[in-house]
């Protein structure tokens, strides 16, 4: 890559000689202009023309090299300046240092001196260019994962992992979310998808939840909505606004807007939904202080593993379990401890017998999941959950204290396996995908299989594999489809169903995007290649 160079000197002989006699190309530069005065360079720059380096005489008629250096400095132009000065002007040239000029040539100049100076400058420009490229790549990578970081932030906030004000402020700054936690109203909402609705959807589950989220997320009526997580038939979202100064008006506006969105979704996608606002808060910080007690119920729901609570509350507890496991893998005991506090607070009004059963199930999952990852927990009660110990406990405080101690012991062991365990988690996920690509699986389902929160799992998958979960799933399905197409007895719609898609048009679109050919074109190509091989 050549850098753009402008030569400025009021003496034509010197100007032309510098432009034509020096082999700039071999040094990595291209002369884009040669001017007689600095004013012409300023015009060039003001016309949004790019220049990397300017070689200018220190004294000229209208705008001198020194004045040009001042202009470059004051206007923060990304160009370096090399000043040409006479011997008597040496002290004068030193003033240019104030304007960021680090290189100058003294008349008379030799080709060797010019080459040496510009070799140094070329190295400087190369380093700056590499640094800028690295920054741009980092920004690009950040923008790519930012939606996941925002989702993780609100997941941690709503599920009780994030409670300290300073940590909330740090996380907001990290994800570049312009929210004042002291003045922003917020509410948590359950979007309830009616039974059998997902089954009517023509595309896969990932597309289903993505479509619903795309409708909901964004700013509407001065309220910003974000999706936190989805599980089974419930999508948890959060609404934020600094526009309102009254909770009732804020809640009314949220309700009106979401009902309008539900109506639009129903008319366009034939999806029936209801909304349930589970909490309204004057500030984001109030979420962390709210007494989030689960609602007891006297009706038995076999989906809740025996807990006498509403199903949406049970699903939230499951998300909290997975979030705890995520932070066990990361090694963040503070977040694990906070979530455990939140869970125990929510279960405060539930009979302690049910709580003991819940805790037994929770740690049984932990132990089983870590055993599957090859992590040896034998030092903790021979690798078994101490059921009798849990059942003998008399109070919620005693249960919570025991839970935190065991979690600490687990994390001490997991920390020794951290890198290998993360890779093993993703390997398990890939094996599940490879064995079930023909089913309508979603990111949330796979995250559930490895007992992690969907936001953390999504980030971890991208980190380990270098591609998103969705891209990997599509890649596997298309590879399997390419194999099935070799069998002439399978029609396109049959192959579509065999690799986990419901809509053959959507499948064909994905196939062409990944292979450059439609399924039928790909089959014709295989037949043609096979025929040519037979002729040989």
Query: Is 99 contained in some domain?
Result: yes
Query: Is 241 contained in some domain?
Result: yes
DSSP state of 140: H
Say how far apart CA 450 and CA 455 lie, in whole Å. 13
What Å distances lie between residue 397 and 111, 271, 317, 365, CA to CA?
Answer: 82, 44, 19, 22
Q: Which residue has the tokens 């050919």?
A: 517
Burial 211-230 (b: 16+ CB within 10 A, else e): bbbebbeeebeebbbbbbbb
Domain-ending residue, one of 435, 461, 487: 461
Tokens of 507: 């499948």
208's CB contacts (< 8 A; 6+ apart) are 198, 201, 442
Query: Is 205 contained in some domain?
Result: yes
Say how far apart CA 297 and CA 306 lie, in whole Å. 11
Tokens of 395: 């109070």
Query: Is 120 contained in some domain?
Result: no
Domain-ending residue, one of 290, 320, 347: 290
CATH number for the domain harbouring residue 167: 3.30.70
- Confidence at residue 435, expressed as pLDDT on a 0 to 100 scale: 93
- Confidence at residue 36, expressed as pLDDT on a 0 to 100 scale: 86
What Å distances lie between residue 467 and 462, 476, 525, CA to CA?
Answer: 5, 12, 29
If asked whether residues 301 and 337 sit together in one domain, one would say: yes
Say how far apart CA 316 and CA 294 lie, in whole Å. 10
If asked whether residues 513 and 389 sit together in one domain, one would say: no
**164 three-state secondary structure:** coil
Query: Is 126 contained in some domain?
Result: no
- Confidence at residue 429, expressed as pLDDT on a 0 to 100 scale: 93
- Confidence at residue 366, expressed as pLDDT on a 0 to 100 scale: 86
If asked whether residues 173 and 230 sit together in one domain, one would say: yes
What Å distances lie between residue 40 and 31, 74, 320, 419, 500, CA to CA?
Answer: 15, 17, 65, 59, 65
If asked whether residues 410 and 435 sit together in one domain, one would say: yes
Structural domain including 257 reads 145-290
Residue among 368, 375, 381 nearest 414 (CA): 375
- Confidence at residue 402, expressed as pLDDT on a 0 to 100 scale: 93
If asked whether residues 450 and 481 sit together in one domain, one would say: no
Domain-ending residue, one of 290, 305, 328: 290
Q: Which residue has the tokens 């190369």?
A: 126
Query: Is 512 contained in some domain?
Result: yes
CATH number for the domain harbouring residue 511: 1.10.10.60
What Å distances lie between residue 251 and 280, 290, 304, 424, CA to CA?
Answer: 7, 17, 29, 44
Q: For 482-507, what is each residue's pLDDT tens digit?
A: 999 998 889 999 999 999 988 888 89
Query: Is 340 contained in some domain?
Result: yes
Number of domain units in the chain:
4
Query: Is 195 contained in some domain?
Result: yes
Say how far apart CA 111 and CA 411 lie, in whole Å. 66
If asked whether residues 347 and 429 sit together in one domain, one would say: yes
CATH number for the domain harbouring residue 90: 3.40.50.2300
Q: Which helix (H) or strand (E) holds 505?
A: helix 504-515
- Confidence at residue 401, expressed as pLDDT on a 0 to 100 scale: 92
If asked whether residues 189 and 250 sit together in one domain, one would say: yes
Tokens of 273: 């939904």
If asked whether residues 477 and 456 sit together in one domain, one would say: no
If asked whether residues 391 and 451 sit together in one domain, one would say: yes
Q: Which residue has the tokens 């007992």?
A: 451
* Residues facing residue 106 across a β-bridge: 85
Q: Which residue has the tokens 């012991």?
A: 409
If asked whether residues 277 and 311 sit together in one domain, one would say: no
Say how far apart CA 160 and CA 268 lie, in whole Å. 36
- The stretches in the chain having pLDDT less than 50 are none
If asked whether residues 159 and 178 sit together in one domain, one would say: yes
If asked whether residues 272 and 363 sit together in one domain, one would say: no
């Amino acid at each position: 890559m050549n850098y753009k160079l402008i030569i400025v000197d009021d003496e034509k002989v010197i100007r032309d000689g510098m432009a034509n006699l020096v082999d700039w190309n071999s040094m990595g530069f291209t002369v884009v202009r040669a001017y007689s005065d600095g004013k012409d360079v300023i015009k060039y720059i003001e016309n949004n023309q790019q220049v990397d380096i300017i070689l200018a005489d220190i004294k000229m008629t209208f705008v001198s090299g020194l004045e040009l250096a001042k202009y470059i400095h004051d206007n923060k132009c990304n160009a370096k300046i090399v000043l040409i000065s006479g011997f008597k002007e040496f002290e004068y040239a030193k003033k240019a240092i104030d304007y960021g000029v680090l290189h100058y040539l003294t008349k008379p100049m030799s080709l060797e001196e010019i080459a040496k100076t510009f070799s140094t400058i070329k190295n400087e420009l190369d380093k700056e260019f590499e640094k800028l490229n690295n920054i741009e790549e980092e920004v690009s990578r950040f923008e790519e994962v930012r939606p996941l970081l925002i989702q993780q932030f609100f997941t941690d906030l709503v599920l009780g992992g994030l409670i300290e004000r300073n940590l909330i402020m740090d996380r907001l700054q990290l994800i570049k979310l312009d929210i004042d936690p002291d003045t922003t109203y917020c509410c948590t909402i359950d979007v309830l998808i009616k039974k059998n609705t997902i089954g009517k959807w023509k595309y896969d589950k990932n597309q289903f939840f993505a479509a619903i989220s795309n409708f909901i997320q964004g700013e509407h009526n001065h309220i910003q909505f974000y999706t936190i997580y989805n599980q089974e038939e419930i999508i948890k979202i959060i609404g934020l606004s600094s526009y309102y100064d009254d909770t009732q008006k804020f809640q009314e506006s949220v309700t009106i807007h979401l009902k309008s969105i539900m109506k639009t979704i129903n008319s366009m996608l034939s999806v029936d939904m209801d909304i349930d606002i589970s909490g309204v808060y004057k500030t984001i910080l109030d979420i962390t202080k709210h007494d989030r007690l689960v609602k007891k119920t006297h009706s038995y729901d076999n989906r809740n593993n025996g807990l006498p609570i509403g199903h949406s509350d049970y699903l939230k507890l499951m998300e909290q379990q997975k979030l705890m496991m995520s932070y066990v893998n990361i090694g963040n005991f503070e977040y694990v401890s906070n979530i455990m506090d939140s869970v125990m607070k929510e279960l405060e009004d539930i009979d302690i017998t049910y709580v003991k059963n819940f805790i037994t199930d929770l740690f049984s999952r932990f132990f089983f999941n870590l055993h599957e990852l090859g992590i040896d927990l034998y030092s903790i009660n021979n690798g078994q959950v101490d059921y009798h110990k849990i059942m003998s406990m008399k109070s919620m405080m005693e249960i919570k204290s025991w839970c935190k101690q065991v979690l600490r012991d687990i994390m001490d062991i997991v920390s020794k396996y951290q890198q290998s365990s993360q890779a093993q988690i993703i390997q398990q996920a890939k094996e599940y995908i490879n064995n079930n690509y023909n089913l309508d699986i979603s990111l949330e389902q796979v995250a559930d299989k490895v007992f992690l929160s969907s936001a953390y799992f999504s980030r971890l998958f991208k980190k380990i594999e270098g591609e998103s979960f969705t891209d990997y799933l599509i890649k596997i399905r298309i590879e399997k489809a390419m194999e099935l197409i070799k069998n002439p007895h399978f029609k396109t719609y049959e192959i579509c169903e065999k690799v986990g898609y419901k809509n053959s048009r959507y499948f064909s679109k994905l196939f062409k995007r990944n292979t450059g050919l439609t399924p039928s074109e790909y089959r014709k190509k295989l037949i043609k290649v096979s025929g040519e091989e037979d002729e040989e």
